[in-house]
Amino acid sequence: MKGKIPVVQIVIYVVCIVAAVFAVLIFSGKIQVGSSAATVTGTVTMWGTLPYDAMKGVKTALEKDMTNVTFNYVQEDPSTFQSNLVNALASGTGPDLIALDSTNIVQNYPRLLTIPYASLPESSFKTTFIDQGTQYLKSDGTVALPYVVDPIVMYYNKDMLSSAFVVTPPKTWNDVVALNAKITQKDDAGALSAETVALGTYDNILHAKELLALLAQQGGNPLVTWDDSTGKYVSTFAATDASGNSAVQNAFSFYTSFANANSGDYSWNASLPLDRDQFVAGKLAIYFGDASEASGIRQLNPNLNFGVALVPQLKGATKLSTYGNMTGIAIVKTTPNPALAVTVAQTLISHDYVGGFLTLAPQYAPARNDLLADTPSDDLQTTVSHSAIISQSFLDPDPTQTTALFKKYVDEINSGLATPDQILVPGDSLLSGILQAVQAKITGAQSTYD
């Protein structure tokens, strides 16, 4: 589509400059979100995986404030979101906005309108949103506006801990190891009869990939990062620190030790049920899961006496971290009304609108610092809020392929086919190949989406 790109770029530039003052004021809370209602008109459609019931409430509020705007939200299945989006964009029927989470950034960034720093200064962005929001930033602006976070938290069985005369949940991974020695039980044949923590395997651990990414990130390795010099996402799987230590090697070594029957850490194996099911049944002391799972766990077993706490940290860590799946609001380049799309996106991430969404979906945490500064209503919300503040995520280029990658190396280590240090180079090669293939595919199709 030669000749079209410059026109669209000019339109986007003008739209963003016009929106600049409005953006700064809406982020700061100095204007109310309904005050521009008379200046915008039309229909905006957003796709995402956020719950429809909560977004329905947002729709009602937005259409009340912006009487000339119709806002439609389509809830997509996470497993088909990406393919449906690509097909819709190719056919010219795609949405104006998408709720962009950590598994969709690498696959979609060239298809998104970049909001330049002239419209939203980087300093204002970092003041308004939690640190994880920087995952959306590029050298020239941001491809999404942070909205909410669903962080990984530690669920613990209070009765199992108290039966071991433990009064507080573990705060460090060293504490987890010490707790394991008190709770895990096995017979003379090595069969487990009580388990402390589900780590070490892949197929029966619901968040295995996120936990490995969490351990690597706590060690200082994000696994995937943006490279300004190449304008692409690159792998850091094989990276080492100044002392030659590998956070990925340490993560896989620690993780798999819990599935090694000859290890003092032994607490889990592949023959056991799914970790969440074992926790719900009251047979697992610690389960690492999304904060949004709390209500479901209560419904499945109302009698389960459990608490929620921050995930353990590395001993002596000066920077706390957990894994969090952040959702941001992104503007699709092909929207026929970029001015309206920008205005609606800015409104959705404003203080009052995020707060309204959380009233309907309290299982999430806000990505706004001002909302996180509010005093939570209970211990669960306190943990969720604190977890959001320290959350980071793995910029997953292709969830299906990376799942196969992580599973491959966990299985190889557990079966003795590889040691943690031997997976670094081939793992980096595989992850780099996935990144290159995904980015080549969307770059090759970029003229279609411009």
pLDDT digit string (tens) for 158-175? Answer: 999 999 999 999 999 999
Handedness of CA 147, 73, 355, 152 (dihedral sign): negative
Q: Does 33 have pLDDT greater than 50?
A: no
Query: Residues 169, 258: one domain?
Result: yes
Q: Does 301 have pLDDT greater than 60?
A: yes
Query: Residues 359, 315: one domain?
Result: no
Is 273 part of a structural domain of the chain? yes
Is 290 part of a structural domain of the chain? yes
Query: Residues 143, 84: one domain?
Result: yes
pLDDT at residue 26, rounded to an integer: 43
d(CA 304, CA 284) in angstroms, rounded, equals 11
Is 398 part of a structural domain of the chain? no
Is 216 part of a structural domain of the chain? yes
User: Could you read off the pLDDT of 343-376 as tens digits, one per residue?
Assistant: 999 999 999 999 999 999 998 999 999 999 987 7
- Rounded mean pLDDT, 224-243: 93
pLDDT at residue 234, rounded to an integer: 97
Q: What is the CATH number of the domain that holds 35?
A: 3.40.190.10
pTM for this one? 0.89
Query: Residues 146, 161: one domain?
Result: no
Q: How confident is the model at residue 302 (pLDDT cuts 50, 70, 90)?
A: very high
Contact 321, 212 (CB under 8 A): no
Is 291 part of a structural domain of the chain? yes
DSSP string, 166-221: --S--SBHHHHHHHHHHH-EE-TT--EEEEEE--S-STT-TTHHHHHHHHHHHTT-
Query: Residues 335, 294: one domain?
Result: no
Query: Which one-letter DSSP state was computed for residue 336?
Result: S
User: Could you read off the pLDDT of 422-437 as tens digits, one per residue?
Assistant: 999 999 999 999 999 9
Q: Which residues contact 79 (CB under 8 A, 6 or more apart)?
A: none
Q: Does 14 have pLDDT greater than 70?
A: no
Q: How confident is the model at residue 447 (pLDDT cuts 50, 70, 90)?
A: very low
User: Could you read off the pLDDT of 197-223 as tens digits, one per residue?
Assistant: 999 999 999 999 999 999 999 999 999
d(CA 417, CA 133) in angstroms, rounded, equals 39
105 φ/ψ angles, rounded to the nearest 5 degrees: -65, -55
Query: Which one-letter DSSP state was computed for residue 136?
Result: G
Q: Does 65 have pLDDT greater than 70?
A: yes
Query: Residues 10, 121: one domain?
Result: yes
User: Could you read off the pLDDT of 281-300 as tens digits, one per residue?
Assistant: 999 999 999 999 999 999 99
Neighbours of 299 (CB within 10 A): 9
Q: How many domains in the chain?
A: 2
Joined together, the tokens standing for residue 423 give 């997976």
Is 409 part of a structural domain of the chain? no
pLDDT at residue 443, rounded to an integer: 67
286 φ/ψ angles, rounded to the nearest 5 degrees: -135, 135
Tell me how far apart the 2 most distant CA atoms of the chain are, in Å: 76
Last residue of one domain, picked from the residues 392, 421, 436: 392
d(CA 250, CA 78) in angstroms, rounded, equals 30
